Chain A
Amino acid sequence: MNPAPFVIAALNSSDALIAFIVYSVAVLGIAVASHFVLSRSHFMSEYFLGSRSLGVWALMLTFAATSASAGSFAGFPALIYSHGWVLALWIAGYMVVPIVAMGLLGKRINRVARQANAITLPEMMSARFDSRWVSMVATLLIVSLMLLYLIPQFKIASIILQELLAEVPLWQSSVIVTENLTSQLPLVSHAEPAYLLGLFLFSIMVIAYTSFGGFRAVVWTDMLQGAAMFFGVIVLFILTLYQTGGLKNATEQLWELTPPEMVLAEFRGSDKLTENEQLIPSESWFVITEKESSRLFRTNEVVTLPTGQEASKAAKAVEIVGEFERKLLLQKIEDGKIQILPNDVKIKILKSKSYDYGANQKGVYVMAPGPSESDANGFLPFTIAISFFIFWTLGGAGQPGNKVRLMAFENTKTLKRAMALLTIYFGVIYLSLVVIFCCGRLLVPGLDQTPDRIMPVLSLTVANNAGVPWLAGLLIAAPFAAAMSTVDSFMLMISSSLVRDVYQKEINPEVTEKTTKRLSYLCTMTVGLLVMFAAVNPPKFLQVIIVFASGGLASVFLVPVFLGLFWPRFNAPGAIAGMLGGFSSCMSLYVIGFIQNLMAGITSLGDIKPYRPLEFDPLIWGILGSILFSISVCLLTSPPSRENVKKFFGK
């Protein structure tokens, strides 16, 4: 779920700046406080695992926040807006995520990690299997997949920050300074200065608090973000429902809607237009009258009119074609509630496309599979619904970031209570988001070409309508906070693997605590800086990378860790085979998809789809491959030593 660039045309600049400053100050304060705790504790255990002292709220909120990336608060709302109620089925797997992600491995992984005195996941696996090869393979896969995942996250967060502060005068002058500084520098001169500034600011903030605060800073910022999102979603839910006249009314209206048409339009101005009118903001309405009927459109990006009567660049817009919606909106235009472009602006429709599934059909936003612009089978055919249910459930359980958190809680009572609380948290958040953005379609129609903007635009709309515009600032900062909470965990995991599993275990076992401390700070900072530089020139196919990396991590680690915790017979060769088998099963489907797409003439890497046998996601095949390799290699090789089995399973 990769948010495209967006413009918050009407967000008051001071609201955005205040929200950003409040959040930044809180985050840096947390880093200082956790550094203070760090200085009084055993360094490695505190820096990478919070001294195994996570309490109930910390465990619950950090688990929730780590699970939610920027995509959850930008991409998921965009999907709901575009496809309707079917997204409730798409996300339904989350009903069992708390119990599976925490309950499946929680108690056992915490205990085995304590017995092994392990701080990192590779270290725990190495102790369980009594094999340094397991640790080395695990470390290699963690570092490479997580680095891959981090680059697009840095890019996404930078874009979000860039758009959040776009209207702030201080930001605008800083962009000019950045342009002056970087225009002559090799490797960065081609990048947009606003993007570079956003990347720099985001990177500095996340590197600072992660490097100096360690695991505890990461957890505390997760708590801040998790709590802010919970309350933000509740408030948005209440405001949205109230402003649409209740859920029944909203669903009945949604039933009447039909999908719009996606158009490209060209605009020409005239000499009569003022300087202000030369810039057409995004979400502007315009009408084209043909014979006796009026066609209604809405722009989805900013349009700059050239001087004179030259044509603008082709701009994305949406045509409202459903009778019900069109009549409602035209009436609002007549009543003066909606402003349209002046008649001096001449418009020509260059291209128009109907939806492949759902065009002119009522009820598509209420029933499955949901409308789709590009797929004749609809958004969510049933086989894909099955795939996603399993994807969310097993994907959550398989993420190394979640496993590390399970190594860090205090005791079983903490786990039990955190599971109960997480169940409530996910239920409230995800079901509320589905309701909010289904209703959002009625409050903010015609945003289908850039649906990633629905979160900020809807927040702004309902907050302004309710007379609390500052609330929009906090809500819009949420995807930025979500990106931070994902990035910090991954950075720390990479750094812990390198310092503990590579340096301390393999190179210098006698390393002093002072050296370890310096190395840990240095490593975390270096990882952050490397990713920052890589994000200056990020690859274009971000979405494919994000999905591959997260699916890959689950395919690699879920089965070997699960079998290692519950099956005494499971051994080191089985674990290594399981990790490599899971990785290669998942990766091969992407390679096959790439080749298929190339043969079909699709050369843009951003449009690549993996091969999905029986419509199941590569993650599922990766897990099946991991199971096959794990069990078969284990049974073909000798069992683990009695001492090892007795230590982790015996009386």
Chain B
Amino acid sequence: MTDTSEIKSNSNQPDGLQYSNPYLRSLKELVVLVIGAAAFMVWTLVYCGNFGYANEKTKELSNVMGMPSWVFWGILLPWLCAGLFSIWFALFFIKDDDKEFNRIVSQNIALDETTSQNAASKNSVSKNAASINEEQL
């Protein structure tokens, strides 16, 4: 799935730091993942809790496709659905934004180098100014 909508970045920090799109996208993926995993967990546990545990009403075997029916409806089916969800999530929902990420990293590295060079040249200008002052004195 190609994410054609542009994600608007948030400025959560008072000094206006903007979060990168790859990071924001990973948050979105996280939310979907957690909801999905929780849904399958609830399905399995609720169904098995109600129908998997033997009680005085359990008199005879009920099976579906050869396995106990509670295993079929409460474990096999959610497992299959979780599998399909996982495959969809992995192949189609997770965005392959490596290029964008690499571009941001390269920009940051270039910016850091420029900042370091500027800082180094400022230092050297200050040192020159200081030595000129000393000579004058």
Q: Taking beta carbons and an 8 Å cutoff, which residues of A are in contact with B?
A: 85-86, 88-89, 92-93, 95-96, 98-100, 103-104, 107-108, 111, 114-115, 246-252, 255, 363-364, 366-369, 382, 385-386, 389-390, 393, 411-413, 415-417, 419-420, 423-424, 427, 431, 435, 566, 568, 642, 645-647, 649-651
Contacts and interface: CB of A to CB of B under 8 A. Distances in A.
A414 to B, nearest CB: 10
A423 B61 contact: no
Given A366-B61, A427-B83, A650 B17 contact: yes
A413 to B, nearest CB: 6
Contact of A95 (B44, B89, B96, B108): B44
Given A93-B41, A100-B37, 9 more contacts: A86-B52, A96-B82, A99-B85, A99-B89, A252-B61, A367-B53, A385-B48, A417-B91, A568-B13
B76 interface: yes
B91 A645 contact: no
A466 B61 CA distance: 31
A111 B89 CA distance: 19
Contact of B78 (A95, A255, A411, A651): A95
Contacts of A95: 40, 44, 75, 78-79, 82-83
A416 B41 contact: no
B119 interface: no
A406 B132 CA distance: 56
A645 B13 contact: yes
Contacts of B66: 246-251
Contact of B12 (A96, A415, A568): A568
A80 to B, nearest CB: 12
15 contacts: A89-B44, A89-B75, A99-B33, A99-B37, A103-B33, A249-B66, A251-B63, A368-B52, A385-B45, A419-B90, A423-B87, A427-B80, A566-B26, A642-B15, A651-B20
Interface of chain A, helix or strand or loop or mixed? helix
Nearest to B90: A419
Interface string B72-105: 0011101110110111011100111110010011
Contacts of A390: 41
Given A420-B86, A651-B9, A99 B67 contact: no
Given A99-B89, A650-B19, A251 B26 contact: no
Contacts of A416: 90-91, 94, 96
Given A92-B79, A251-B68, A417 B90 contact: yes
A113 to B, nearest CB: 12
A405 to B, nearest CB: 16
Contacts of A92: 44, 48, 75, 78-79
Interface residues of B, number: 59
Nearest to A412: B96
Contacts of A369: 53-54
A431 B79 contact: yes
B67 A89 contact: no
Nearest to B89: A99
A363 B71 contact: no
Nearest to A645: B17
Contacts of A645: 13, 17
A552 B44 CA distance: 27
Nearest to A647: B108
B97 to A, nearest CB: 7
Contact of A649 (B23, B33, B48, B54): B23
A99 B80 CA distance: 13
A651 B82 contact: no
Interface of chain B, helix or strand or loop or mixed? helix
Contacts of B36: 96, 99
B37 A96 contact: yes
A415 B94 contact: yes
Interface string B16-31: 0111111100110110
Nearest to B88: A420
Contacts of A650: 17-20, 108
Contacts of B53: 367-369, 382
B41 A431 contact: no
B91 A651 contact: no
A461 B37 CA distance: 39
Nearest to A435: B67
A650 B65 CA distance: 53
A338 to B, nearest CB: 27
A364 B83 contact: no
A568 B19 contact: yes
B98 A411 contact: yes
A85 B98 contact: no
Given A417-B90, A649-B23, A651-B18, A96 B30 contact: no
Nearest to B104: A651
A649 B20 contact: yes
B23 to A, nearest CB: 5
Pairs of residues from A and B, 5 with the lowest C-beta to C-beta distance, nearest first: A247-B66, A419-B90, A248-B66, A367-B54, A95-B82
Nearest to A382: B49
Contacts of A246: 66
A389 B96 contact: no
Contacts of B20: 649-651
Nearest to B36: A99
Given A85-B67, A412-B97, A420-B86, A104 B79 contact: no
Contact of B94 (A107, A364, A435, A568): A107
Contacts of A107: 26, 29, 94
A88 B83 contact: no
Contacts of B70: 367-368
Q: Among A92, A93, A389, A419, which residue has the most Cβ atoms of chain B within 10 A?
A: A92
Contact of B105 (A103, A115, A248, A251): A115
B76 A431 contact: yes
Contacts of B13: 568, 642, 645
B58 interface: yes
Interface string B107-126: 01000000000000000000
B64 to A, nearest CB: 10
Contacts of B44: 89, 92, 95, 389
A384 B104 CA distance: 46
Contacts of B49: 382, 385
A85 to B, nearest CB: 5
A88 B75 contact: yes
Contact of B27 (A89, A115, A248, A566): A566
A88 B86 contact: no
Contacts of B83: 95, 423-424, 427
B112 to A, nearest CB: 9
Interface in B38-60: 40-41, 44-45, 48-49, 52-54, 58
